[in-house]
Amino acid sequence: MHASLPRQYLAQFLLFCGLLLLSGCAQTAFSEPKTASYAIAAHPKTKLARYIAPELSAHPNQTGFYPLADGKDAFIARLAIIQSAEHSIDVQYYIFRDDLTSTVISMYLYQAAERGVRVRLLLDDMQSRNDEDMANIAAHPNIEVRLFNPFEQRKARAIGLVSDFDRLNRRMHNKSLTVDGTFSIAGGRNIGDEYFSADSSVEFGDFDLLMVGDIIAPIATQFDVYWNSNAAIPIEHLQGQGSKIPHLELAQWYNEQYQDIATSEYFYTLARLPIIEKLKTKKIPFYWGDAELYYDLPSKLSTPSQENPLLHQISALLDHTKQELLLISPYFVPTKAGALALAKASREGKQITIITNSLASNDVFAVHGWYAKRRQMLLESGVRIYETQVDPHITQQHSWIGSSRTSLHAKTYILDREQLFVGSFNFDPRSAQYNTEMGVVVHSPLFAERIYQRLGNALKKNTYRLALDEDGNIVWFDDHNQKRYTSEPDASLMLRMGAWFSGMLPIENLL
């Protein structure tokens, strides 16, 4: 799901917007002191350090990265590094659900804490969770839980949103998992079944990188910056001190979860994944090259115009693209200025390709309504646009706030087939202005070309190619099945009307 608290509560917001104007913006100060803590440096004798030491010696001062394009691979990779942890685990996510895969990851984190590993869990407070449960987890001497930019109203969140909209509209969308200062995973995935191919009713196509080497220290620093920021509030400051979970209760919980795992077809399929053998035999085919971490500062919450370096860095990357840009964004709302810049680049001879969700696959149709306003101009300028198809076997439920379906969720840019950006940044006003974001820029022509080729092979089978007919109208081509559509494929009349109406509302900056 897109990082958008207003989308979750958009219906309430539209109803209460008049009250919002009257009430103004409340200033919230969480002033209780907290203890600063910092990343634990990598130790050469840990399992993970010994595992990767030969590769690091062969590639000094570089970053190794392995693509996690498959949801099950992404899940196994997380479990593997958590299970191997000996000193520290730093977890930072926008969404951490309460479902099968999230529960298993929670089990692994708690078991790591029981082994003596320090676990720091930093979560955005958009998703409502049980404060008492989180406080009880944080009562473990080796676990700390902090919520980023939390609601003061813990129960009546919609009311809190109305009275404190300007602050609560801004969310932490960063996603990272770092273990023992040696391995990190970062990219577009949150923690939940839909991100790990474990939910039959929804499937998010996403992309992460498993990384080692020089990039790890900057990712750890990024985590510390957020962890020690004023916006990161310890759960005990919101809930009070929790009670450590009794071992008998914990054992019973473990047994219940293991029974679910034992009968799960999902976990049965995991056992046969090739990545497991690669992890065991130390034969993960890492790509190597230079890498940079881009991230916003937590102070973007209060001074967004001055504290959004990631936007400026991405803009500079795009400006320096010489020949070709492939842009993948699930929520593509370029604004008029952004669309004009892309159109201009295309007319100047640069090959611009955009891959985004179709109306049928987009889980927020208001986003599609505003994106659709820019398609005509982009196509007329020569920009190539592809929209993802839905899986007909997955139930479709559209709404302002989300749906169940196949949906693109990756945020990846390939520049001149030499550089690759992988992260949390959507090409939309929300990522640019309101949310904090992060991403890794990889400098590796070999890796960028490989990813480009894989995407190229998938485009014909999994997307609609947009074009203009002889009258200048938009048409959709399913090149794999040799079909042509003259209106939004797989979308009902009501859905098309909803998207069109959304494009008439003055909400573009909220998307």
Active site residues per annotation: 173, 175, 180, 409, 411, 416
Of 294, 257, 435, 417, give the one whose Cα is nearest residue 353: 417
H/E element holding 270? helix 265-270
Which token pair is 194? Answer: 């839909």
Q: Which residues of 105-128 are buried (b: 16+ CB within 10 A; e: fewer)?
A: bbbbbbebbeeebbbbbbbbbbbe
Q: Which of 316, 298, 318 is nearest to 308 (CA)?
A: 298
The token pair that represents 473 in the structure block: 């109208």
Distance (Å, whole) CA 173 – CA 131? 20
Alpha helices in 156-246 (DSSP H): 157-163, 165-168, 216-227, 235-239
Nearest to 133 by CA among 96, 159, 169: 96
Q: Which helix (H) or strand (E) holds 355?
A: strand 351-357
**SS3 state at 45:** coil
Nearest CA to 170 out of 349, 4, 297 is that of 4
Query: How far apart, in whole angstroms, are the C-alpha atoms of residue 495 and residue 390?
Result: 14
Contact 464, 476 (CB under 8 A): yes
